[in-house]
Amino acid sequence: MELSPLCTDSISTEGCVIKQDRGQRKSKVSRDVETEIENLNKAIPQLAKVFRIIDKIGEGTFSSVFLGEAQMHDGRREMFALKHLIPTSHPTRIAAELQCLTVAGGEESVMGATYCFRKEDHVVIVMPYMEHQAIVDIIGSLTFEEVRLYIYHLMKALKHVHQFGIIHRDIKPNNFLFNRKSKMYALVDFGLAQGTADTQIELLKDLSGLRKQPRPVFGERNLNSCTPAAATTKPAAIKAETLIQLVKSSKTEDPANRKYTAAGRGPLPVRTQSSTQKPQRAVQQGHTCNCYQTDRVCNICMSRKQQVAPRAGTPGFRAPEVLTKCPNQGTAIDVWSAGVILLSLLSGRYPFFKASDDLIALTQIMTIRGSRETIQAAKAFGKSVACSRDLPRQDLRTLCETLRGRRPSPDEVTPLPEANKDSSTACHHNIQDATPTHRPSVQHGAGESPLSSTLPEEPRDSETDCKVEVDERGWDRVPDEAYHLLDRLLDLNPATRITAAQALQHPLFKDL
Ligand code: ADP
Ligand code: MG
Ligand code: ZN
């Protein structure tokens, strides 16, 4: 790429067009953003010599992304996305992200990197700017054909990065940019990527050495707290005790019956264990675990060390093997996340799974894919999952059509259990989160997640309006192949889940 420093001259001599554009922008750019841009220019003065930073276009946990304009040697002006990584990022992590972009990016709908700036601990990755729409804004108006092409290009991008031995680990619509007009797609954000055993990205190999303890989330602290509950007053431990007390106050002490104690009123506590390790360890420690394969946590288990397994990403998009902390995770985890995206696009609901922690996410998966099926798949990858209630697997077409308002009766979809109305304790509150009320409502726009909260009853448009609008977009003609592919992407068992390369050969894409 040919970048030339933007001297002040070239800006002022360009005349009023640019100035006007700048003025319009300025009114939209908030004070905070202006300050951030100033700070960035101060942190890396070299940046300002090449780019005029115009606006902020993205903000994540680990970065801020800005829109920058540069003048090229041939006089053209080009737009770039400038990703400023948080200064606390590990240098190897940063270098690995950059290497993914430069080695695998720039083709096959994978974003490439053009340049990188660093001063002290400030790093900015420069990428070509791709204008795009947020899926949440357009989900209500997408045609089936647009959805089909979006998933096709996502599969192409995944096949490509997987060939390099890159596991992206954070596949979600915000990281797969889509320009509706130009039909362009770009996979971005390798900030959580990891390498397969035979990865071609050298720096991803180095990453495995510095992998940190996973950040604990509520459900994990609850089940895997390193400190015995009685010895601490941490909120998580209190919550865990509440869970235990609930068990003790229930009618039966028979462990065989415990798993059913909560089933009557709707809460669905889920727990997972490594089916090989835990009972053995308990024996070694001279304790007998009395909660194995129940949905309760005994004190022995409460004091166990947290199991370490990679679990980056966003809960609602995490594969079952990630949620259960299976230590060997592969590229199949990205395919699962793509399946969640397809489920979301076919049902018109984004986000589809909205979970604040991994156990809630697992419960939500079970309500769609079936609890028995989930338990069985988990067994296949060495995890024991217990669920207090048998949740039947749902038919994907029926589910999606109901959520789209194309099927009148919500009763045709196995309803998610009613949330427990009594939320007076922390424990109940948690369980209530895990068992969202399922009230599919008819919506034409972006629906909220069917699993996120109680949905308000939407006023329903007249039946004919609905049909005409939907027919134009092809939602009355969704072929079985789409639901077949969805089923294969959302295979609970990573060993049998379709790969991105196989998905491209799927009959749904036969004409592409
Ligand atoms: P984070 O790690 O903070 O999530 P991302 O790399 O995902 O950072 O970028 C955050 C957001 O910035 C993206 O969701 C997208 O909206 C925007 N963005 C990132 N890269 C580009 C790009 N090359 N062109 C246009 N927008 C981009
Ligand atoms: Mg991102
Ligand atoms: Zn136990």
Angle between helix axes 396-403 and 480-489 (nearest 10 degrees) is 110
Per-residue CA distances from 116 to 47, 97, 113, 187, 390 (Å): 10, 11, 8, 18, 52
User: Ligand 1: which atom is nearest the Cα of residue 111?
Assistant: 23
Q: What is the pLDDT of residue 291?
A: 79
**Pick from 172, 483, 188, 138: which is nearest to 336 by CA?**
172
User: Using CA of residue 440, residue 358, residue 487, residue 370, what is the dihedral sign?
Assistant: negative
Q: How confident is the model at residue 311 (pLDDT cuts 50, 70, 90)?
A: low
Cα distance between residue 387 and residue 291, in whole Å: 13
Q: What is the pLDDT of residue 178?
A: 98
- 9-55 pLDDT, tens per residue? 333 333 333 333 444 555 578 999 999 999 999 999 999 999 999 99
Q: For residues 248 and 453, which has the higher predicted lDDT (pLDDT)?
A: 453
Both tokens assigned to 398: 């029926």
Q: How confident is the model at residue 429 (pLDDT cuts 50, 70, 90)?
A: very low
3-state secondary structure of 461: coil
Query: What percentage of residues in the chain have a pLDDT greater than 70?
Result: 65
The CA-CA-CA angle for residues 465, 407, 476, to 5°, reads 65
- 167-179 pLDDT, tens per residue? 999 999 999 999 9
- 120-149 pLDDT, tens per residue? 999 999 999 999 999 999 999 999 999 999
Q: How confident is the model at residue 313 (pLDDT cuts 50, 70, 90)?
A: confident
3-state secondary structure of 93: helix
User: Is 358 buried (19+), middle (13-18) or exposed (0-12) by CB count in 10 A?
Assistant: buried
- Number of the ligand closest to the Cα of 55: 1
Task: Kindly tell me if the per-residue pLDDT of 258 is higher than 60.
Answer: no
DSSP codes of every residue in 391-438? -PPPPHHHHHHHHTT-SS-GGGSPPPPPPPS---SHHHHHHHHHS---
Q: For residues 422 and 165, which has the higher predicted lDDT (pLDDT)?
A: 165
Average pLDDT for residues 204-218, to the nearest whole number?
A: 61
* Domain coordinates in residue numbering, the chain: 8-129+203-248, 135-192+312-509
User: Is 391 buried (19+), middle (13-18) or exposed (0-12) by CB count in 10 A?
Assistant: buried
- Number of the ligand closest to the Cα of 68: 1
Residue 212 alpha carbon to ligand 2 centre in Å: 20
CATH topology for 8-129+203-248 is: Phosphorylase Kinase; domain 1 (3.30.200)
* Length of the chain, in residues: 512
Looking at the DSSP bridge assignments, the partners of residue 233 are none
- Confirm or reject CATH 1.20.140.10 for domain 135-192+312-509, answering yes or no: no
Task: Kindly tell me if the per-residue pLDDT of 113 is higher than 90.
Answer: yes
User: Ligand 1: which atom is nearest the Cα of residue 60?
Assistant: 3
Average pLDDT for residues 246-254, to the nearest whole number?
A: 29
**Pick from 131, 208, 61, 360: which is nearest to 351 by CA?**
360
Per the rule left: phi > 0, alpha: psi between -120 and 50, beta: everything else, 196 is beta
Rg of the chain over all Cα atoms, to the nearest angstrom: 25
Both tokens assigned to 1: 């790429």
Residue 82 alpha carbon to ligand 2 centre in Å: 13
Cα distance between residue 446 and residue 430, in whole Å: 27
Q: What is the pLDDT of residue 300?
A: 80
- 263-280 pLDDT, tens per residue? 333 445 566 676 554 444
- 361-410 pLDDT, tens per residue? 999 999 999 999 999 999 999 999 998 899 999 999 999 999 999 887 55
Same CATH fold, 135-192+312-509 and 8-129+203-248?
A: no
Task: Kindly tell me if the per-residue pLDDT of 84 is higher than 90.
Answer: yes
DSSP codes of every residue in 332-349? HHHHHHHHHHHHHHHHTB
Within its chain, how far is the Cα of 391 from the centroid?
Answer: 23
**C-beta atoms surrounding 440 within 10 Å:** 24
Which candidate in 121, 170, 395, 471 is catalytic? 170
Q: What is the pLDDT of residue 303?
A: 79
Average pLDDT for residues 71-82, to the nearest whole number?
A: 95
Q: How confident is the model at residue 298 (pLDDT cuts 50, 70, 90)?
A: confident
Q: Name residue 295's amino acid.
A: D
**Pick from 368, 403, 397, 381: which is nearest to 485 by CA?**
397
Ligand 1, residues at Cβ distance < 6 Å? 57-58, 60, 62-63, 65, 81, 83, 111, 127, 129-130, 174-175, 177, 188-189, 191
Q: What is the pLDDT of residue 229?
A: 32
Q: What is the pLDDT of residue 140?
A: 95
Both tokens assigned to 29: 């750019």
Q: What is the pLDDT of residue 217?
A: 36
Q: Tell me if residue 395 is catalytic.
A: no
- Number of the ligand closest to the Cα of 60: 1
